[in-house]
Amino acid sequence: MPILHGWIIETTARWSNIISGVSFHLWRRINHYFCVKASAIFNFQSLLTVILLLICTCAYIRSLAPSLLDRNKTGLLGIFWKCARIGERKSPYVAVCCIVMAFSILFIQ
């Protein structure tokens, strides 16, 4: 264990020397570049796509095995039951939203 502890201290010391050697301005630009690229993944259209896929998947699973989702109507797992309900009761609207989203993804992006 002391060997591992010494290695951690040595590695931490090396990284702190490397980071302190890089100018603050350059470090800030690198950090900004990676933060902007990572946050571009999360946009509104992707969120809508995930919600539509969740609704359609839950409705399909409930049609195959209703007892799987019906036993968890409350709590955190109740979200899947609610999505299945939305998919069953509002299926024409969900179908239109899926078609519009598919058209948007295929031809607009």
Q: What is the pLDDT of residues 39-58, one digit of tens each?
A: 445 778 888 888 999 999 99
* Residues 7 and 55 reside in one and the same domain: no
* Residues 49 and 91 reside in one and the same domain: yes
92, 63 contact by CB (below 8 A): no
Please tell me the predicted confidence (pLDDT) of residue 25. Answer: 56
| 37 half-sphere exposure, CB direction, 13 A CA radius | 6
* Residues 49 and 93 reside in one and the same domain: yes
Please tell me the predicted confidence (pLDDT) of residue 18. Answer: 56
* Residues 104 and 75 reside in one and the same domain: yes
* Residues 24 and 48 reside in one and the same domain: no
55, 87 contact by CB (below 8 A): yes
* Residues 48 and 70 reside in one and the same domain: yes
Spell out the alpha helix ranges (H) of 1-109. 2-21, 24-39, 44-64, 66-70, 78-89, 91-103
Q: How is residue 6 written in tokens?
A: 């010494």
Q: What's the rounded mean pLDDT across residues 81-106?
A: 91
* Residues 11 and 61 reside in one and the same domain: no
CA dist 71 → 75, 77, 78 (Å): 11, 9, 9
* Residues 28 and 48 reside in one and the same domain: no
* Residues 55 and 24 reside in one and the same domain: no
Please tell me the predicted confidence (pLDDT) of residue 57. Answer: 94
pTM (2 d.p.): 0.59
- Quote the domain boundaries for residue 23: 2-39
- Could you tell me which residue, 69 or 2, shows the higher pLDDT? 69
* Residues 74 and 55 reside in one and the same domain: yes
- Number of domains the chain contains: 2
Can you say how many angstroms the Cα of residue 95 is from the centroid of all Cα atoms in its chain? 23
